[in-house]
Amino acid sequence: MRTRVKICGLTRPDDVNFSVRAGADALGFVFYKPSPRYVSPEIARGLISLVPAWVSTVGLFVNSSYDEILQVIDHVGVSHVQLHGDESEKLCERISRPVIKAIRLPTEAIIDQTMTDKFAKISNSYLECCSAVLFDSDTRTYGGSGETFNWEVLDDLISQCRGKWVLSGGLNKHNIKLAMTRFNPPFVDVSSGVELVSVDKVPGVKDHHEIEGFLKLVAGFN
């Protein structure tokens, strides 16, 4: 099965257009106001109008109410919803679009069977009502931190996800080969790993060379 790629945290028309031309399978737009990659629903609506029907568009929310989510997705027209907070299974069930639920995994903890069992239980619970779970790093921010989690937890975890999972959290051109070799994920999600670097990363401003390089590296395994 081919590994698909989502470019997340898009804020500019040029980056949207380039990601589509470069072959991204999905594009992500952040509707969490504290995020430096936040886009207003009005701006996101314009960006999504540039996206062809065969590329998925994903709205990312963090602990928003059902009414807030519904208002945004109806106005903007995203095809999928990604939830990164403490949203309940009941909330996920109410959303009319396919839902990807983020599971935040530890960045430094020693992985043991108890921890693996805990996250397997959480993942399976969400998979009863969601289209997929997304494994991300448990950091102070919600996505785009550039930090990887302890991949050891995936060794036993992904076998229980029935192919309905996404690898995220600090992916970039330096570690994607290892991720592909070790896990052959069905979907990968990259944000800060393809952002423009001056002195620091520029949140929401993508580097087209990094996008192209990342997509080519993933395609090399397909």
Q: Among all residues, which ones are annotated catalytic?
A: 8, 136
C-alpha atoms less than 13 angstroms from C-alpha of 38 in its C-beta half-sphere: 11
What is the widest separation between alpha-carbon atoms in the chain?
46
Backbone angles phi, psi at 24, to 5 degrees: -65, 145
- The burial of 199, by beta-carbon neighbours within 10 Å (0-12 exposed, 13-18 middle, 19 or more buried), is given as exposed
Q: Annotate 164-208 with DSSP letters as a single string.
A: -EEE-SS--TTTHHHHHHHH--SEEEESGGGEEESSSEEEEEE-H
For 24, the token pair is 């991204």
